[in-house]
Chain A
Amino acid sequence: MSATIVSLPDQSTARIPKVNYLTKENGILSWLLTGDHKRIAILYLISITFFFFIGGALAGLIRLELLTPRADLMATDTYNKVFTMHGVIMIFFFLVPSVPATLGNFLIPMMIGAKDLALPRINLLSWYLYMAGGILAIYTMAVGGVDTGWTFTTPLSTHYVNTNVITTGLAVFVAGFSSIFTGLNFIVTIHKMRAPGMTWFRLPLFVWSHYAASLLMVLGTPVLAIAIVLVALERTIGIGVFDPTKGGDPLLFQHLFWFYSHPAVYIMILPGMGVISETISTFSRKRVFGYTAVAFSSVAIAIFGFFVWAHHMFIMGISNYSVLIFSLLTMLVAVPSAIKIFNWTFTLYKGSITFETPMLYSFGFMGLFTIGGLTGVFLGSSGTDIHLTETYFIVAHFHFVMVGGMLMAFLAGIHFWWPKMTGRMYPEKLSQLAAVVTFIGFIFTFFPQFILGVLGMPRRYASYPPEFQVLNVFSTAGATILGVGYLLPVLYLVWSLKYGAVAGDNPWQATGLEWQTQSPPLTENFAEMPAMDHEAYDYEWLEVQNQKRQKEVNSAG
């Protein structure tokens, strides 16, 4: 197990390059007015982490309340607000922007050999919109919160609850535009800014998956925006579009909402899949098996993802024929996801696998995402769905995909590119421990919820029958472990900023263009603009490159 591919420069002589994107300019304004995609990525990373811990604290409150069968920690309507704000913050302010806005922002221009994203000022605008939305969400929480659930279900949100639906809606609306602009920026950048020789099929799969996710952001988010506008107008002046007493139909809201919010789960997961493609390849020293299939499966997920939304509505009174068709389409969207999992597995086959931290997280992703994905097939079949919907089975299912999948991928990515972003390594043993702790904590938290769901425990209640307590205690205990697992990386990553070993240009011996420049990179990313003359994940090319460099050093010596 001691085998490793990490190759750090000689620590006695190695230095962080004096000129890089972090040191180029100083002062708070140089950050707040920056056009540099890498700096904006760092801004996002800090703010996203902040919102993640707020959402996490709310999750902690939920689990604490559910420790006992009775609603004794907080009033039941407070509980409703807590789970609503947990959902809103985690989805719109963490999961949707998590990998794209941080790693995607940082890496896409570098991976395709560009100096920056195509629209740097729009990129900065995205961050400001994100922050405006986030501050509004926090403000909402401070003045009393909202208790509709993150889905803003009508007529509950338009007629019945007396909480801050409008401000929350506005927060999501504004954050939505941040997401639209990020997606738009990525698509334009990938189309127009690629370096010479960087053909579509030489792009790293990370870029492909971001391209697919960006399509979803650009096409889906505006529909959410208009749905929220309609809810707000319905609530304020009673326009009647969702109000049956005026001839409107609440189902229309469900259609509009899920037309975005189902694709949104692919907005969340696709960039994570991109991370996994990079790490799996690097740590098994092999080109990703079936590159083209994996690339197209991202696009296929994006396309199919737009035609399955009504599977959230099987019990809401849509027709049996709709149920049948959407059930079938839901099965279809499982195919490209399975293609990815199978291809990663085949990439591992006969690879030289090493178990660095990003790889551990990636294994976590593959296992947990597979469980999450397969339970999605149960829920896509209308027969089982009618029994399982609105139970903890759903909660467990999407937490396996979102937390088990996306969060693992996010952490894998952060660990994988941390040396590139900061120029320093984090402590390897401690981070491996954190990866294992996260995995164990996760299983303990969410696996019992599958059983609870099958037994019929409904979601969104502060109290439950006493016979469910054992499994709930398991879940809460697991959440505590999970919390430790998330806190550890924050601590040692911050520590590493000052004390970490100097990483050098390419500590993992990875092939992407981003690794062929200094760490942390220059503001312009590359000293001279790169030209791509080899396929993606070409480890033999890297070998030749390294030998050449060695020769140069020797002859100079």
Chain B
Amino acid sequence: MPDSPAIAHGAPEPAHEEHPSYLRHHFNSVEQQADTAGFAMWLFLVTEVMFFSGLFTAYLIYRNWYYPAFVAGSHQLDVRWGTLNTLVLIVSSFTMAMGVWCAQTGRRRGLVLCLSLTCLLGLGFLGIKTIEYREKIEKHHVPGFHYSLQSFVDPQSEPEVYSEYHDKPLPPDMARHTELYFSLYFLMTGMHAAHMIIGVGILAFMILRARAGAYTSGHSTYVLNFGLYWHFIDIVWIYLFALLYLISRHQ
């Protein structure tokens, strides 16, 4: 039945229910297919949570052990860039949600616009992240590559950061553990950025297909599920922002 399209027969069968082209052969109905894909996506996100959980565990343990080093390390991050990036991602989540709505209501041009905006905002996030990373490289805060403790044993060497936080010099033993903080910083944001890059790639692919009207003819599951993925990355970032940038801001 799925393998015998009507053209094979001389006359179309009127009793035969019509199957939309996007219904895969092993599903009974479009609802079942959409339902299944959604469930699979949620489950995939659970595996993603477990993937990040290893890093969060490491973070929690070492933050408890080396709290002063984590505070000093965190002060080296620029909270303004972080806040801006958080805003960028939240707005991109909004445009993504609008995109899902456009797909479900059959608005092709709206969908292309929303996906393009999301894609641009995603690229913007990555761009800002690059600026931040470059700053770390310049300050020798990349673990493993000429890592320098100067900012932590002699905070006054960096007047900008010092004027804001007035950090006391860390004893050399504790200062060394800032390297662990930056390891986790690069690991967690790097893992997050890898997910962003994949997301932007899929977005570009989706924009091309959306222009051809692939998602606005009743089959919007793909957009919906990608939206779930995008929101998930957004949520991960919000945790990362709080854990990495906002340690002891109240002081």
**Nearest Cβ on chain B to A117's Cβ, whole angstroms:** 8
| Contact across chains for B51 and A222 when beta carbons are under 8 A apart | yes
| Contact across chains for A240 and B183 when beta carbons are under 8 A apart | yes
**Nearest Cβ on chain A to B130's Cβ, whole angstroms:** 19
Beyond A116-B26, A118-B36, A247-B66, whether A238 also contacts B144 by CB under 8 A is yes
Is chain A's binding surface mostly helix, strand, loop or mixed?
helix
Choice from B46, B48, B54, B187 contacting A227 with Cβ under 8 Å: B54
**Most central of B26, B35, B187 by chain A CB within 10 Å:** B26
A490-512, CB under 8 A of B: which get 1 and which 0? Answer: 00000000000000000000000
Beyond A226-B54, A252-B58, whether A247 also contacts B65 by CB under 8 A is yes
| Contact across chains for A239 and B144 when beta carbons are under 8 A apart | yes
Kindly state the separation between the CA atoms of A218 and B44 in the bound complex, as whole angstroms.
8
Is chain B's binding surface mostly helix, strand, loop or mixed?
helix
| Contact across chains for A218 and B43 when beta carbons are under 8 A apart | yes
B144-185, CB under 8 A of A: which get 1 and which 0? Answer: 110000000000000000000000000000001101100110
Chain A positions within 8 Å of B217 at CB level: none
Kindly state the separation between the CA atoms of A226 and B184 in the bound complex, as whole angstroms.
13
Chain A positions within 8 Å of B105 at CB level: none
**Nearest Cβ on chain A to B152's Cβ, whole angstroms:** 13
B39 CB-CB contact with A under 8 Å: yes
Q: Which residue of B lies closest to A225 (CB)?
A: B51
| Contact across chains for B183 and A239 when beta carbons are under 8 A apart | yes
**Nearest Cβ on chain B to A222's Cβ, whole angstroms:** 4
| Contact across chains for A247 and B180 when beta carbons are under 8 A apart | yes
User: Which of A187-195, A202-210, A323-331, A342-350 lies at the interface with chain B?
Assistant: A187-195
* A190-236 with Cβ < 8 A to chain B: 191-193, 218-223, 225-227, 230, 233
| Contact across chains for A226 and B43 when beta carbons are under 8 A apart | no
**Nearest Cβ on chain A to B196's Cβ, whole angstroms:** 17
**Nearest Cβ on chain A to B247's Cβ, whole angstroms:** 17
A350-366, CB under 8 A of B: which get 1 and which 0? Answer: 00000000000000000
| Contact across chains for A192 and B36 when beta carbons are under 8 A apart | yes
Chain A positions within 8 Å of B25 at CB level: 115-116, 524
Chain B positions within 8 Å of A116 at CB level: 25-26
A273 CB-CB contact with B under 8 Å: no
Chain B positions within 8 Å of A118 at CB level: 26, 36, 40
Beyond A241-B183, A247-B66, A247-B176, whether A120 also contacts B43 by CB under 8 A is no
* A313-341 with Cβ < 8 A to chain B: none
B83 CB-CB contact with A under 8 Å: no
B248 CB-CB contact with A under 8 Å: no
Kindly state the separation between the CA atoms of A438 and B63 in the bound complex, as whole angstroms.
53
A126-166, CB under 8 A of B: which get 1 and which 0? Answer: 00000000000000000000000000000000000000000
- The 4 A-B residue pairs whose C-beta atoms are closest, nearest first, are A226-B54, A237-B144, A222-B51, A116-B26
Given A247-B69, A252-B58, 7 additional A-B pairs, CB 8 A: A114-B26, A115-B25, A241-B62, A241-B187, A247-B176, A247-B177, A256-B54
